[in-house]
Structure 1
Amino acid sequence: MPFFDPAILQSGQYHDWLVQGLILSLQLTAVSFAFALPFGALVALMRTASFAPLQVLGSAIVEGIRNVPLLAHLLFWYFAFPELLPDGAREFLYANNPEAVCAVIALALYSGVHMAEDIRSGIRAVPPSQLEAARSLGLGRLAAVRLVLLPQAFRAATPPLLSQTVNLWKDTSVATVIGAAEMMYQAARVETASFRSVEAFTFATLAYLTVSLLISFAAHLFQRRYPVRPA
């Protein structure tokens, strides 16, 4: 019997692939969320602005992004967008994991416009008297929005925003089509190399389910701790 069993070594390698895919999926979710949330807040403020051109621009951004499938966004940012860049910027992109970068751009924009609608609902839930009171205390409009309006709007919008985070987590699986080595990519890689379909895709399924349930549980705890009361 050989001292090193090749089957055991390969099994460990397959496990490493799946764990690496899980880590990349979590990273894609976290980085995309970090860009999507402020982008969504900006678009929501544009849509609720009193300046009509800003409202039109905000609506155009939302409708233009959310009415195109995520897969089309991914393919555009991965295949078409680099061709629009100067040579130096394109070479820099290709040298720095372009699959992950383009996946983050597509996921952040796509999730951001959906978050914008949730934040807009939160803004509309804040009584106008709150801004009026802030202005009467001497705050400028931007300071009143930043210190008074947005904190209350985010609190009201947190449960739907967490639901959008679940969607963002699950949407990372689409990045496999452009070769991002996330969890579904690695599960398919293990299946191809070992024909262990049950183990590979069970791991991926349980990982998606576990993280989704954890985020949903966080939303449930938040709703119990901070129930949204009618204004």
Structure 2
Amino acid sequence: MEMLNFGAILQGKYLDWLLSGAAMTLGLFAASLVVGFALSLVLLALRESGVRVFAAFTRFVVAYHRNVPSLVQVFLWYFGVPQLLPGSWQTWINAHHSEFILVWVALSLNAAAYMSEDLRSGLRSLPHTQLEAARAIGMTYLQSMRIVLVPQALRAALPPLVNQSLTLFKTTSLAMAVGLAEITYASRQIENESFRTFEAFAIASAFYWLCSFALASAGHLWSERLNRMDRRT
């Protein structure tokens, strides 16, 4: 029985693959989180605008992303959507790291759908009179949402938003299915070449665990800080 040897893959090109894959994973997660959260605010505003067309559109977006597996969404964007684009667009995307761009879009939209519902739940927990008061002093609907309601909804929705961020981070591993060289893809490459299956995927597991723990801890510290600020006021 061959002994475990982590040193065999923590050097040379294998280490380079792991580091490059880790950087790709973190970059994809950060980009998807930023865009997904921004889009979730847009979806929230549309859903609560009172305009039926906008509300119906957001309900469809949320329903699609909550009921279709994330991997299918990635495949749809990577294999399906480019066929509908003009030839010049396809050429540009293929010349600019198409795997990253299309997976980024898929994960961002997925995160936006879930986060918008988390924010909507936080918004629903606030007294309806706050919107009326904001409108009464002359604020527009968008100003009321941006200045008064969304900051409070964000505090109320912080725990589920942190959980959704954790889910998004782990979902980045689906990118390996379309050839994006993130850390799961790198681990698979190392396993195929070195036959050290346990060591390769143990390192990937440790990476995901440590990053998830750090993200959850940051969310907890942020929540505690907000609670202390609330108690002071």
Question: Aligned partners of 1:143 and 1:225: how far apart in 2?
Answer: 26
Post-superposition shift, 1:178?
0.2
Higher mean C-alpha deviation, range 130-139 or range 156-165 = 130-139
Counterparts of 1:93-132 in structure 2 under 5 Å? Answer: 93-132=93-132
Question: Aligned partners of 1:71 and 1:140: how far apart in 2?
Answer: 40
**Amino acid paired to 1:143:** Q
Aligned to 1:170: 170
Q: Give the aligned CA root-mean-square deviation in angstroms.
A: 1.9
Determine if contact 2:166/2:216 at 8 Å carries over to the other structure: yes
Question: Aligned partners of 2:91 and 2:193: how far apart in 1?
Answer: 32
Determine if contact 2:21/2:186 at 8 Å carries over to the other structure: yes
Counterparts of 1:29-178 in structure 2 under 5 Å? Answer: 29-178=29-178
Question: Aligned partners of 1:127 and 1:151: how far apart in 2?
Answer: 14
Determine if contact 2:45/2:145 at 8 Å carries over to the other structure: no
Post-superposition shift, 1:8?
7.5
**Amino acid paired to 2:94:** Y
Normalised by the length of structure 1, the TM-score is 0.90
Structure 1 pair 194–8 and aligned structure 2 pair: CA distance change class (3 A)? closer
Aligned to 2:3: none
Aligned to 1:186: 186
Determine if contact 1:179/1:185 at 8 Å carries over to the other structure: yes
Determine if contact 1:122/1:154 at 8 Å carries over to the other structure: yes
Deviations 1:32-61 (A, max 9, x none): 111100111221222223222222221111
Question: Aligned partners of 1:102 and 1:140: how far apart in 2?
Answer: 36
**Amino acid paired to 1:65:** H
Post-superposition shift, 1:77?
0.8
**Amino acid paired to 1:11:** Q
Aligned to 1:11: 11
Question: Aligned partners of 1:192 and 1:73: how far apart in 2?
Answer: 27
Determine if contact 1:183/1:204 at 8 Å carries over to the other structure: yes
Aligned to 1:22: 22
Higher mean C-alpha deviation, range 65-74 or range 37-46 = 37-46
Deviations 1:126-151 (A, max 9, x none): 22222222223222222111111111
Determine if contact 2:9/2:15 at 8 Å carries over to the other structure: no
Gaps of 5+ in 1: 1-6
Post-superposition shift, 1:207?
0.4
Aligned to 1:3: none
Counterparts of 1:203-218 in structure 2 under 5 Å? Answer: 203-218=203-218
Query: Secondary structure, in 3 states, of the residue corresponding to 1:226?
Result: helix
Question: Aligned partners of 2:45 and 2:96: how far apart in 1?
Answer: 33
Query: Secondary structure, in 3 states, of the residue corresponding to 2:157?
Result: helix
